Amino acid sequence: MGIEFPNRVGLAAGLDKNGDYIDALGQLGFGHLELGTVTPKPQPGNPQPRMFRVKPADAIINRMGFNNEGVDHLVERLEARRYSGVVGANIGKQKDTPVDRAAADYLICLEKVYPHCDYVAVNISSPNTENLRQLQDSGHLRELLEAIVRAGNDHAETFGGKCPIVVKIAPDWEDAALTGALETIAASGVDGLNATNTTISRDAIAGLPHADEAGGLSGAPLLQPANRVLKKCREVLGDSFPIMGSGGIMSGGDAVAKIAAGADVVQLYTGFIYNGPNLVHDCAHAICKEYAHVE
């Protein structure tokens, strides 16, 4: 994507939704930070409780629902940052915007964050905004990505520089639908992919406390399903398409497995909650040891 990452381990979207902690998070050794998801206007998200630890499974279920202060707040925080590392801005649609008008929300956010970050992530895969995942269906997807790529090209001229655009997808797919979506993504002109967001499946945690809460499941039980989707993405998109890998990394070994499955860089969220900042170093070091022959 034209970005030089200082290491392959980033912070996944959703932990710093508003960009309020960029400088602090930037001190923890991440090779990049992905901020957001933000929407055009502030919104409160779902009623609490909306986040649950499923401790015996090293997992989290969340249904936050894009609680955020709005894109203008994020832009202010980006402008005020001292952190000079790689920053992505993850954008979404307002809860009450119908799916067939979603593009307008993404375009508002895209234009505002475009000159202030190193890449933009288009989130069409949160399970917690009603019907959002419909944007992954072929017709909607083609239309949305065409509009976003066209606007991105205009902004590159206006702002005098290109900001790459990444699409973040879900792990929950029928094989044929995934292949179709990937072909649409490849043809659209977007610059990269993030696989994957949280899963709506509960197969791996059936019977555990909180297993029946609505929302997206992340952490250890997501590693295998996310890696299966990631492998398919690499197969369909080819060797040179930039892919960010997210989902279930709880150890350095998991980070290595994520790279082996096809990711160019990886991201952490739930593992960071359970294991703390040492995990960032463990993952970066394990990847270096495995792939760059660096101790």
Ligand X SMILES: Cc1cc2nc3c(=O)[nH]c(=O)nc-3n(C[C@H](O)[C@H](O)[C@H](O)COP(=O)(O)O)c2cc1C
Q: In angstroms, what is the minimal distance from the CB of 81 to ligand X?
A: 19
Member of 22, 144, 182, 249 binding ligand X (CB under 6 A): 249
3-state DSSP call for residue 26? coil
Quick check: 233 and 207 in contact, CB under 8 A? no
By CB under 6 A, tell whether 13 contacts ligand X.
Answer: yes
**32: part of which helix (H) or strand (E)?**
strand 32-38
> Which of 103, 124 has the CB closer to ligand X?
124
Residue 251 appears among annotated catalytic residues: no
Q: Name the catalytic one among 126, 188, 218, 246.
A: 126
Q: Report, in Å, the least distance between residue 90 CB and ligand X.
A: 5
Continuous H helices in 166-277: 175-188, 223-237, 252-260, 270-275
Count interface residues toward ligand X (CB under 6 A). 27
Interacting span for ligand X (CB under 6 A) from 101-109, 183-191, 227-235, 243-251: 243-251
In the list 1, 7, 8, 17, the residue contacting ligand X (rule: CB under 6 A) is 17
User: SS3 for 71?
Assistant: helix
Compare residues 173 and 269 and give the one whose CB is closer to ligand X.
269
Q: How far apart are CA 183 and CA 119, in angstroms?
A: 21
| Helix runs in the chain, H state only | 22-25, 71-80, 102-113, 138-159, 175-188, 223-237, 252-260, 270-275, 278-287
136 near ligand X (CB under 6 A)? no
Query: What is the DSSP-derived secondary structure letter of residue 207?
Result: T
Cβ atoms 4, 259 nearer than 8 A: no
Residues of this chain, 25-84, that bind ligand X according to CB under 6 A? 36-37, 51, 60, 62, 64
Site for ligand X, residues 198 to 217, rule: CB under 6 A = 198
Give the C-alpha separation, 271 to 249, whole Å.
6
247 near ligand X, rule: CB under 6 A:
yes
Q: Does 148 bind ligand X (CB under 6 A)?
A: no
Alpha carbon distance 190, 208 (integer Å)? 39
227 makes contact with ligand X (CB under 6 A): no
Minimum distance from CB of 34 to ligand X (Å)? 7
268 contacts ligand X (rule: CB under 6 A): yes
* CA 189/CA 150 separation, integer angstroms: 9
Q: Applying CB under 6 A, which residues contact ligand X? A: 12-14, 17, 36-37, 51, 60, 62, 64, 90, 123, 126, 168, 197-198, 218-219, 222, 246-249, 268-271
Residues with catalytic function: 126
